[in-house]
Amino acid sequence: MNLLIRILVTSGLVLLIAHFMPGVHVAGFTTALIVAIVLGLLNIFIKPILVVLTLPVTIVTLGLFLLVINALIILLCTNIVGGFSVDSFWTALIFSIVLSLLQSIMNGILGEGK
């Protein structure tokens, strides 16, 4: 049940960000729901591989390269999910930062992550 709530919250946040942020386009709630699921799967399976492969760069940049990895995950998601598009790398970077911040806030409000 906890996972279902997190997916629904993430899909709502994707819709909210797409509404206010130029350069991010989502066709509807169903697409946002698919985006939330695909982002979760990419974060589980692909992101750890990218983090390990880019560990030296991440250490040199004091962890800031993880933001680039997050943006790449968003861009990969746009290639997988039809109806979801992000115009540029910089838009994906800002989108990933805003989504992460809002997810942290919502997890704090809902009492998750303890």
Return the domain boundaries, the chain: 3-106
66: phi then psi, degrees, rounded to nearest 5: -65, -30
CB contact at 8 A, 96 and 102: no
Token pair for 45: 């399976």
Q: Which residues contact 12 (CB under 8 A, 6 or more apart)?
A: 32
User: Measuring CA to CA, which residue among 75, 74, 79, 78 is closest to residue 100?
Assistant: 74
Each residue's pLDDT tens digit, 66-105: 999 999 999 999 999 999 999 999 999 999 999 999 999 9
Each residue's pLDDT tens digit, 7-59: 999 999 999 999 999 999 999 999 999 999 999 999 999 999 999 999 999 99
pTM (2 decimals)? 0.92
Kindly report the number of other CB atoms within 10 A of residue 2's CB atom.
9
